[in-house]
Amino acid sequence: MFEGNNGKINELIEEMGDNHISNSAQTPLRDDAFSISDEDKIKSIQKDFSNILHTLGMDLNDDSLKGTPSRVAHMFVNEIFGGLNPNNKPKLSTFDNNYKYGEMLVEKNITVYSTCEHHLLPIVGRAHVAYISKGKVIGLSKMNRIVDYYAKRPQVQERLTMQIVKALQEALGTDDVACIIDAKHLCVNSRGIKDITSSTVTSEFGGKFKEQEVKKELLDYIKLNTSFE
């Protein structure tokens, strides 16, 4: 009976992963997520990853492999999952809109490097972020940094899109923020169906961006050829 139940659980997990089901717009972190230091996390992950490689039959005494557990542990904590740590959140300093710019501002083609939380495989794509000022403006690079911060964690693309919009809404004091992400998921491209041509598009439109005319204007901006090569 246990084996039968275990099989059903595995089927359910696989189905949920393929359908990108998420229970919340918040990253699912435990209350004690930061009860140990980054150094201790690295030591623990290094030990666990050594065990994974050993279980797979790899010889960790080989010169090419013996440093891999340490490299992976440092990469997880300090790089690709560094966005889990709230201490790494960029300061979203804003300024008064003294020049009274009243149209939408669009930062397009922001590089997205994230990791699918279902299979821990890369998500690679572009984000397009826009807002309409209600008296505050934000440095352009801050928009890139907030995308990067929320991307650097185990993610689903839908949640990432919403988190970017919410963070900028809070910083700018306006609902008039939008984000569109077009990305490739290696969990689809390199395993399972192995469809190397497909990509996933998600969007979150707040405030005025829900209006069809404003939404169309944003989409027209994104289509503009802005290549300077």
DSSP 92: -
Angle at CA of residue 118, ends 113 and 124, nearest 5°: 20
Closest CA to 70 of 87, 53, 88: 53
Answer for the pair 146, 163: CB distance below 8 angstroms, yes or no.
no
CA distance 64 to 227: 40
Catalytic center residues: 116-119, 157, 185, 187
Place of tokens 């990853």: 49
Answer for the pair 137, 168: CB distance below 8 angstroms, yes or no.
no
